[in-house]
Amino acid sequence: MRIITDMPMSPIHVARAACLVAIVALSGAVAAAQTQSGATRSVLAYTASYCECSGGCPAFCASPNASLIVTPFWHSTGPSDASPSWSPDGTLIAFTSDREIVVADVTSGARVNVTNTASGEYEPSWSPDGYRIAFVSDRGAETALYVMNTNGSGVVRLIGDGLVRSSSRSTWSPDSTVIGFDCQVEIGNDDICAIASDGSNFRRLTYDAAPDVNPTWSPDGQRIAFATGRFAADQLQLAAMNADGSDVSRLGDGISGWRPAWSTDGTQIAFEGPSLGGYSPPDVYTINADGSGMTFIVEYAGSPSWTSGSGLLVPSFTTSCNGLTCSFDASGSVGTIANYTWDFGDGGSASGITPIHTYAVGGSKTVALTTTDESGRSRTMSVIVRLNLPPVAKFTAACDGLTCLFDWTGTSDPDGTGLSIWFDWGSPGVYNWVTVSASSARLTYPAPGTYTAGIRVGDDSGAMATASQTFTLGTPDMHVGDLDLTNTGQNTWQATIAIHDAGHQPVSQATVTISTGGGTASCRTDLPGRCVVSNIRLGQKGSVTVKNVTQTRFAYKPTSNHDPDGDSNGTVIVASRQ
């Protein structure tokens, strides 16, 4: 089944002359759980790396040079977008773009540069109360941590003093009063510090000689997850500590990762980890909050960020069809959804998250899902679904001896969308592609036995059909198909014998033994199935008799001997008749 959407639900549909790598939409099951009641969930965004190439990209790009922001239902345009941070309700997302901080509406795609400076602005972090964004900037004499209103106004420098780096990532306490961030109180030693959102009460949370970086606050405010080098040499691993820096414990059995992000429901932590393919861009993974259940999410990606999506209303559904019956699943929709209403494009309708609908006829149908939230807001998503009927496979086998004629006339695709046909000669799992224009094939098997031959048929939508026939082959018969006697001199004759199979086709390499009354002689058939015995001495009314015919693959059947000339019975020919 083909599905054509009328909205860009996945960044893979971006039309650009670039080689996009690892840009995929996250399904509802991957992003987080959603209950059947329509409660909101944690929704994940991340930075996807890809290759931006002028003149075309290689088939595989191992060193991406560009990035953009990806969500399950929206993506930025790149090529230098990174470090996303959701607004609490999920309707907006802040990120770094060309050394500026941009805020984008994930529903309309509208974006606003909220910093507009000549300096570098990095690592935005949206406050849980939704009013402010923390970020790092080098707009002053040194790199410092700042806060601003979400429209870029009210910029306040919180702290610099050599403590903050351009790569420092900050995190807000759930009550939006404290900001945790990467710091260097001791030169060359990365630690985690905290400061009140008004710039007061600076404090250092970690003191270990190993690096401690990338803090993320738990939604309940009790713990901070971070990356640390204290448990393994030359490797950052995930850990968690109390909000005051005490009780540091490693997550799991030693999970290599950095830039963790705690989900808004508190159940999961997303993070960057080493690439499964061994390439320079990292991959994104998730674990449960206790460090268990590590799950790969997407390659060539990083900077994960979560939102509850409480302000979003995004309908989304998948379709799975078997013939004319389709199952629909809207569990990937985002928002506090009260009602799901379906229009199946044929006059039929339904409600609920996972309806099933059977169509009367095939073809293309426009299926629309309308989601309505508890405030009465509605939004509709439409998808064109092409109903595909599976192909019809027909196959017959007609065998004579070791030779079979196979015929698949009548094999067809009811939708008329094109077929591919594979032929199985009788070796399980081995198929030979056969052009659709061919409707038959002839095959001679090497030995007697029981065989199953058939066809496997596929249409261009991936539906398959098979047909086969089992048959037993014995040793094929052969016989004399022509017997001639020619006078070559006084009492000297030449016998010409033709050997045929049951289908009256020539049999080569057959040894023919004849008697002449005065002895025996033999000859071996050539490719046309004929052989000659010369210098036969015969008296008046002498005769030549075919005594035996042998061939490794055929059995001689003398009762089938015949002579189309009518001058013999195929077994005996008399000289007096010449």
- Give me Rg for the CA atoms of the chain: 40
Residue 28 pLDDT > 50? no
Number of domains in the chain: 4
Note whether 494 and 570 are same-domain residues.
yes
Residues 6+ apart with CB under 8 A from 550: 510, 511, 513, 556
Q: Do 186 and 211 share a domain, yes or no?
A: yes
Residue 147 and residue 245 in one domain: yes
Residue 311 has pLDDT above 90, yes or no: no
Which of 8-17, 18-27, 440-449, 523-532 is most confident?
A: 523-532
- The 10s digit of each residue's pLDDT in 200-218 is 999 999 999 999 999 999 9
Let me know whether 13 and 138 are in one domain.
Answer: yes
Domain boundary among 440, 456, 473: 473
Does residue 36 have a pLDDT over 80? no
The larger pLDDT score, comparing residue 206 to residue 433, is at 206
The answer to whether residue 462 is domain-embedded is: yes
pLDDT band at 239 (very low <50, low <70, confident <90, very high): very high
pLDDT of residue 389: 80
Higher pLDDT, 35 or 254: 254
> Do 282 and 324 have their domain in common?
no
Looking at every residue in the chain, the average pLDDT score rounds to: 85
| Degrees, nearest 5: CA angle 571-574-576 | 165
Give the CATH number for residue 68. Answer: 2.120.10.30
Residue 33 in any domain: the answer is no
Q: Please report, as a single letter, which amino acid is at residue 250.
A: R
What is the pLDDT confidence band of residue 11, given thresholds at 50, 70 and 90? very low
**How far is residue 371's CA from residue 145's CA, in Å, rounded to a whole number?**
41
Same domain for 512 and 467? no
Residues 163, 132 share a domain: yes
264, 279, 307 - which closes a domain: 307
* The pLDDT value given to residue 437: 54
Question: And the tokens for 526?
Answer: 């050539």
- Given this model, what pLDDT does residue 37 score? 33
Task: Give DSSP secondary structure letters for 174-201.
Answer: TTSSEEEEEEEEETTEEEEEEEETTS--
The torsion angles phi and psi of 118, rounded to 5 degrees, stand at -90, -5
The residues, ordered by sequence, that sit 6+ positions from 478 with a Cβ below 8 Å of its Cβ are: 499, 500, 501, 502, 507, 510, 549, 551, 554, 555, 556, 557
Q: 519 in a domain, yes or no?
A: yes
The verdict on residue 547 lying in a domain is: yes
Strands 477-489 and 555-556: parallel
Is 140 domain-assigned?
Answer: yes
Do 502 and 406 fall within a single domain?
Answer: no
pTM, entire model: 0.61
37 contact partners, CB below 8 Å, separation of at least 6: none
Residue after which a domain boundary falls, among 473, 502, 533: 473
Distances (CA, A) of 20 to 46, 69, 280, 344, 453: 15, 12, 16, 33, 44
> So what's the pLDDT on residue 549?
97
349 and 458, same domain (yes or no) = no
In a domain, 37, yes or no: no
Q: Contact, 42 vs 34, CB < 8 A?
A: no
The pLDDT, as a whole number, for residue 266 is 94
453 and 558 inside one domain: no
pLDDT band at 51, cuts 50/70/90?
Answer: confident
Cis peptide leading into residue 79 (ω within 30°): yes
Same domain, 222 and 178: yes
The answer, yes or no, to whether residue 354 has pLDDT greater than 50, is yes
Which tops the pLDDT comparison, 447 or 229?
Answer: 229
Predicted confidence (pLDDT) at residue 390 exceeds the cutoff of 50 = yes
User: For position 558, which CATH number holds?
Assistant: 2.60.40
CA dist 213 → 137, 206, 209, 229 (Å): 18, 9, 12, 9
Residues 381 and 458 in one domain: no
Average pLDDT over residues 219-236: 95
Task: Say how many Å lie between the first and final Cα of the chain, rounded.
Answer: 74
What does the pLDDT look like over 444-480, one tens digit per residue? 887 788 889 988 898 877 788 999 999 988 888 899 9
What range defines the domain where residue 85 resides?
3-28+43-307
CATH number of the CATH domain containing 421: 2.60.40.10
Residue 572 resides in a domain: yes
The band of 60, judged by pLDDT with boundaries at 50, 70 and 90, is low
